[in-house]
Structure 1
Amino acid sequence: MLSFLCRIFVDSWVGRIVVGLFFLTFVGWGVGDVLMNIGTERADVVARVGPDPILVPAYEQALRTEMPQIAQQMHLQDPSQIPATTREQIAQQVLQRLVLQAEVALAARNHGLLVPDSAVRAEIFAIPAFQDKNGKFDRDLFNNRLRNSGMTEGRLIELVRAEQASKALMEPIRSGATAPDILTRRIFDLEAQTRRVDIVRVPFASQTPAAPTDAQMHRFYANHPWLFQAPEYRHARIVVLSPETMARSITIPDADLRHMYEQQSQRFNTPETRSVQVITAPTEARARELLNTWQQGANWDAMQKDAGRDSASVEMNDIRIASVPSQDLGRKIFAAPADAIQPPVHTDGGWAIFRVTHVTPAHVSDFESARPALQSQAVAEQVQAQMGDRVQKLQDAIAGGGLDSIPTDIGAAAMSGNIDAHGMTQEGTPAPIPGSDAVRQAITGRIFTQPKGGSPELIQGPEGTWYAVMVDGITPAQPQSYEASAGKVRDAWMADAQRHAADQSATDLYNRAQDGGGLAHLQPAIADLVHSAEFSRTHDTPDVPHEVAEIAFRLDHPGQSLMIEADGAFYVATLTDISRPDPSTQRMLFDRIRASLTQAVADDVEMSYAMALQATVKPKPNPSAINAVMSAVSGKGNPEAGQ
């Protein structure tokens, strides 16, 4: 049910969230009698699709379901804290979804697709949310679910009927799509084809050029002035609020930690687990025959092969005694010594022999041992719960007084100093910005794009981090004198000379390989020559860098060579083999590709038809109704809604 809608709406970032929530929303959208009362009370209309209205209750319910999910993803405590532009985008995406549903349902009606009451009833009865533990429709449960959702039964019936009619319309369109055989074969050839190369790596560091003269260093300095500059530094004031900084301000009472320890006793008191190999035979005689073979030194692979004629074998890792299907067998397994093959045990499934391969003793962590884990868990929960409120406080403080009025009780970290575009201080050490490299890069990038004296603005960064910066000083980049940068000049000259020497050596190999039919034919033989394993476009090999493999697939026939620079070296390679498997030898891969292409073609056909409907039946939004729903859902209006 709703499968075609699932496919239609996953192309937008909001749609990926909506499609998961739609099933829950659908169940909550209402049904007084499963066969009667088909209709809904009319209310304000947010949009019309032909003669069909999209009602405020449906739109409001969809948004109410979605807004908390978006807020949670943004680490906000309340949907009202979602920025206005984001709320507008959510509103437009949800309305678009409802419009598309209505257009498909209208097309189904226009084609005369009628769904009988019996089919609607069967579909509703099959919804798991309305079934008891035995899988049967439960009228009381049905009524309770509808009552709790605040919806009507008639609305659910209407939705089910429309969805089934829509599915009847869309499924034939979809099922008629197939992937062309020539396209399937072409993709198979691209994915299944493998190649081999002979390859030589010429590292820059392996080259030993002569030390530069003073004149060479001066000339290099003059020709590369951009390499020998003191970078631009900016003096910035920074405020960071993140799970990391908040955690430093949160204290968990000892009593709370002890309560958590008691509630999670199973987590810190783990029973003994064992890994075991078990063979189950149909008779005791057969079990003893297998036992004798095993005891004479046969390995597990051989035992599995032998048992495969009439017995069953299984290997279970790190199991508890309760995980063993047979109680008798479980007791035997957990009483047996490790690495000893045990005689037959009678079970419900036959006669079992086994060997315990590993024993992990029971482990009990006392409160003090568990304290760090409990502390981390409790702090993480507090951070999750309080992040939205603290972000709001920080935002209000910055708006009211800039970076001079940051509250001391919200866990924000403040710092200031000079920093270059790489996040380094003038002392050559990383600036003390809390967070990962991604966070540091985001904040540094903001510092070097924000104008001097610009008002600070709270920005959401990577990994749930919020930050604001103010640039109050800029020291432009300045050339360094030759004397001050002599060491850097020498290092840069040597690095450039090593690369140039490696380039010359690799170029010589490449030219000789091209003329001589490949690296393997060169004399004297190349000591570092590597004959690679097979590789494909989807499976690399450690011997062949991705850059080399990519170019190797552009070569037409064995014997051709290539040269490329990557990872501090030049690589020279000769294509030695091209393998083009026949589809009959890799039937599973071929069928998977065909199924995937057929799915993609069907998706395209289905989406094209749905979008064509939208172009035919122009929806008519009601901006005032849309804005009213937004105000009710998030507590704030959305003046641009519906425009």
Structure 2
Amino acid sequence: MLSFLCRVFIDSWVGRIVAGLFFLAFIGWGVGDVLMGIGTERADVAARVGEQTILVQTYQNALQSEMPQIAQSMHLSDPSQIPSATREQVAQQVLQRLVLQAEIALAADRHGLIVPDSSVRDEIFSIPAFKGRDGRFDRALFNDRLRRTGMSEGRLVDLVRQEQASRMLLQPIRDGVGVPDVMTRRLFDFEAQTRTIDLVRVPFDTQQPAAAPTEAQVARYYANHPWEFQAPEYRHARIVVLSADTIGHQLDISDADLRAAYQAQSRTFNTPERRNVQVVTVPTQDRAMALRARWVDGGNWADVQKAAGKDAAAVELPGIRQGDVPSAELGRQIFAAPADATQGPVQSEGGWVVFRVTSITPAHSAAFDDVKQALHDQIAHTRADALVAERVQKLQDAIAGGGLDSIPADLGAVAVSGELDQSGLTHEGTPAPIPGGDAARQAIIGRIFSQPKGANPELVQGPDGVWYAVSVDGVTPAHGLDLKEAGARVAAAWQAEARRHMADQQATTFYTQAQEHGGLGQVTPAIAGLEHSQPISPIQPAPEIPREVAALIFRLDHPGQSVMVETDGAYVVATLTGITHPDPATRKPLYDRVRAGLLQSMGDDIEMSYGNALEGIVRPKPNNAAIRAVMAEVTGRENTGTGQ
């Protein structure tokens, strides 16, 4: 694992920049977690596997490393946004992974696998965290890093030896994995095959009912769909909100302070031109000229990097200023070049340079008057932060003494009142004017609809540093609307249903004709609005084709078959018109990638099966109390499971 991490971080340009940070933290599942956990009391154990212990701190470190990756894969900006159930599942999987690691280490020991001292030494010497600026192992740096993590040299040696022994045990198991050619070909064919379709869309909103509904039709629709015509519960509430923002609005910031802040942030308000640049440096002018010719002829960046050779330096420089370029002459030429045009060769201290400006961000200058309000809000918020604690205490005392009717005007609190439903909307369907961001707003609405009517208000700390108190003084229960109240809504719903029904009839006619004639394209007269798609594949979908249609198209067996689905306010009828099966010889990189993925997946499965079998030899002993505590911290609620 250490060698894998070293290879990942050292063999990539980005990795070389961040390797020191990553290896300093020892992010991973192996030695790093233990390094970070050194110093924890031995009683603080999440699980025991024979003589191996999984420390609670090790478990927590592993989770902290995993959660940001899970959030990123779910397109979330912060791990706190991961649903509680998902966080719990990740926590269980991480614990199982650590247990498996311990089981394999014990198995390697039982089999008497011996790791030579030289191999352990080479492994440790290869860890970037222990290398000096010259790229060689630095004994002083090594001692300092161990001292700061509380790790002894002997303990590190034991851990590396144990991990290498585990790899020696597992590698033959993985090496024995084979993937049948027929399996690879079938998966490759599924992923790489392309299909073309004809399709026609029948949107609901393009249909025009013949006439407005009669009173009898409206009454019948109302009687058949009573659940559609409900008035939600409304509550009348008084709300008081206190935050740095509400306090800041009352603070007076002098013009002198604003101008001083403007001068202090002049680099922010007056930014020089920035450029994104792709730069390749090669040893000779001839190679630079050949590289430029290749780049000009339409070569993309990946091809240019490969063509540059191993002794070249090919880097992307995002958002650079002219002063960031070490060579003054090269900087001048980069900032004089047009965008999307290959330039060079230019001789520099490091060799011959060919470059391409991919985008330009012009210089920007903001006048004082343009940013005055923003500066006011910034300074006011900063000053208000220091006042929040004192104002919270005063507000709490005021509420305790006289409720929401006795709030001093000079506290900087904001009071609002009115009726709203559980979605935070007024009777007019507009958002209720509750101060604060979305998170605070949702917390306040939740409080309004969970607090009993007439209950004494209580000052509560909400999200984003917002404090609030709520008093509910009126509740209008949810109830069904009578026909007179819902008349306009019923008529609109009848019209919408009529349009949907007409679209259904039209699409069904198209589908029936396609079935009878062998496809939409064979229907005569030709169907207006018929679309012919470009080739699509499971790994390269077309955004203009609805997902529901694409999913069904890849289930069809042969051209001429048709499907009909409802999606996004329309019915869509589609006919499969062609299937192109790929030739592995012409798509060898993809074929090899599919095969490698299958090998990796099957190797993982076999390793997991082997690890599960090892549990029958040495049963893990979980510390359920410690595991529940970690689970509760991760999920934000008490977990009653055992963690296994």
- Shorter-chain TM range is 0.5 to 0.7
**Higher alpha-carbon deviation: 370-379 or 501-510:** 370-379
Distance change (3 Å), C-alpha of 1:135 and 1:240: farther
Native 8 Å contact 2:195 2:578 kept in 1 = yes
State the Cα distance separating 1:109 from its structure 2 match. Answer: 0.9
SS in 2 for 1:583: coil
Deviations 1:306-328 (A, max 9, x none): xx9xx999999976445668654
In the alignment, structure 1 residue 62 sits paired with structure 2 residue 58: yes
Deviations 1:601-637 (A, max 9, x none): 222222232333234212446789x69x99xx99xxx
State the Cα distance separating 1:112 from its structure 2 match. Answer: 0.1
Equivalence for 1:221: 222
Name the aligned partner's letter for residue 62 of structure 1. T
State the Cα distance separating 1:460 from its structure 2 match. Answer: 11
Distance change (3 Å), C-alpha of 1:342 and 1:102: closer
1:233-382 to structure 2, matched below 5 A, reads 233-235=234-236, 267-273=268-274, 301=297, 320-321=321-322, 327-331=328-332, 362-363=363-364
Equivalence for 2:176: 176
How many matched pairs? 585
Equivalence for 2:552: 551
Equivalence for 2:133: 133
Distance change (3 Å), C-alpha of 1:613 and 1:343: closer
Equivalence for 2:51: 52
- How far apart, in 2, do the equivalents of 1:614 and 1:319 lie? 54
Distance change (3 Å), C-alpha of 1:470 and 1:62: farther
**Higher alpha-carbon deviation: 591-600 or 327-336:** 327-336
Name the aligned partner's letter for residue 600 of structure 1. S
Q: TM-score, normalised by structure 2?
A: 0.68
Deviations 1:361-400 (A, max 9, x none): 65555777677777888899999x99xx98xx99xx89x9
Distance change (3 Å), C-alpha of 1:314 and 1:613: closer
State the Cα distance separating 1:110 from its structure 2 match. Answer: 0.5
State the Cα distance separating 1:111 from its structure 2 match. Answer: 0.6
State the Cα distance separating 1:481 from its structure 2 match. Answer: 3.1
Native 8 Å contact 2:170 2:607 kept in 1 = yes
State the Cα distance separating 1:117 from its structure 2 match. Answer: 3.0
Report the identity percentage: 53
Distance change (3 Å), C-alpha of 1:424 and 1:522: same
- How far apart, in 2, do the equivalents of 1:549 and 1:578 lie? 13
State the Cα distance separating 1:191 from its structure 2 match. Answer: 1.7
Equivalence for 2:80: none
SS in 2 for 1:503: helix
Equivalence for 2:116: 116
State the Cα distance separating 1:517 from its structure 2 match. Answer: 2.1
Distance change (3 Å), C-alpha of 1:62 and 1:279: closer
Equivalence for 1:485: 486
Equivalence for 1:11: none
In the alignment, structure 1 residue 205 sits paired with structure 2 residue 201: no
Distance change (3 Å), C-alpha of 1:45 and 1:212: closer
Deviations 1:330-379 (A, max 9, x none): 44565689999999977779999999999766555577767777788889
- How far apart, in 2, do the equivalents of 1:290 and 1:90 lie? 47
Native 8 Å contact 1:235 1:419 kept in 2 = yes
Equivalence for 1:193: 193
- How far apart, in 1, do the equivalents of 2:144 and 2:324 lie? 37
**Higher alpha-carbon deviation: 419-428 or 552-561:** 419-428
State the Cα distance separating 1:503 from its structure 2 match. Answer: 1.7
**Higher alpha-carbon deviation: 549-558 or 469-478:** 469-478
SS in 2 for 1:483: helix
State the Cα distance separating 1:187 from its structure 2 match. Answer: 2.1
Name the aligned partner's letter for residue 58 of structure 2. A
Equivalence for 1:78: none
- How far apart, in 2, do the equivalents of 1:227 and 1:204 lie? 19
Equivalence for 2:167: 167
Equivalence for 2:103: 103
Equivalence for 2:523: 522
State the Cα distance separating 1:487 from its structure 2 match. Answer: 2.0
Gaps spanning 5+ residues in structure 2: where?
Answer: 7-24, 72-84, 309-313
**Higher alpha-carbon deviation: 254-263 or 596-605:** 254-263
Name the aligned partner's letter for residue 145 of structure 2. R
- How far apart, in 2, do the equivalents of 1:314 and 1:121 lie? 33
Equivalence for 1:155: 155
Q: TM-score, normalised by structure 1?
A: 0.68
Deviations 1:88-107 (A, max 9, x none): 99999887666544333221
Equivalence for 2:432: 431
- How far apart, in 2, do the equivalents of 1:410 and 1:161 lie? 64
Distance change (3 Å), C-alpha of 1:130 and 1:242: farther
Native 8 Å contact 1:423 1:431 kept in 2 = yes
Native 8 Å contact 1:28 1:145 kept in 2 = no
Equivalence for 2:617: 616
State the Cα distance separating 1:521 from its structure 2 match. Answer: 2.4
- How far apart, in 2, do the equivalents of 1:618 and 1:276 lie? 56
State the Cα distance separating 1:598 from its structure 2 match. Answer: 1.8
Deviations 1:206-244 (A, max 9, x none): 222222223322332333333333233345677889998
Distance change (3 Å), C-alpha of 1:478 and 1:603: same
Equivalence for 1:33: none
State the Cα distance separating 1:163 from its structure 2 match. Answer: 2.0
Distance change (3 Å), C-alpha of 1:332 and 1:419: closer
- How far apart, in 2, do the equivalents of 1:259 and 1:407 lie? 35
Distance change (3 Å), C-alpha of 1:199 and 1:579: same
Name the aligned partner's letter for residue 123 of structure 1. E
Native 8 Å contact 1:29 1:152 kept in 2 = no
